[in-house]
């Protein structure tokens, strides 16, 4: 059935997008954490 294949494709695309979205959020959080640690390290070393 064509509608079933369309539904399956939609679910697969939605899942892939959700996983990609989560990876982007994790990557942003990781970068932000690293920048914060570097900033704190520099602030302490300049004291």
Residue-wise pLDDT tens digits, 1-47 = 789 999 999 999 999 999 999 999 999 999 999 999 999 999 988 66
* 8 φ/ψ angles, rounded to the nearest 5 degrees: -60, -45
Q: Quickly list H helices, 1-47.
A: 2-45
- The residue behind tokens 């996983």 is 19
Quote the pLDDT of residue 47: 66
The per-residue pLDDT for 18 is: 97
Domain boundaries, the chain: 1-47
Please tell me whether the overall predicted TM-score, pTM, comes out greater than 0.85 for this model: no
């Amino acid at each position: 059935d064509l509608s079933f294949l369309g539904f399956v494709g939609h679910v697969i695309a939605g899942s892939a997008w959700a996983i990609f979205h989560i990876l982007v959020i994790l990557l942003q959080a990781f970068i932000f954490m690293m920048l914060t640690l570097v900033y704190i390290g520099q602030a302490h070393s300049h004291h």
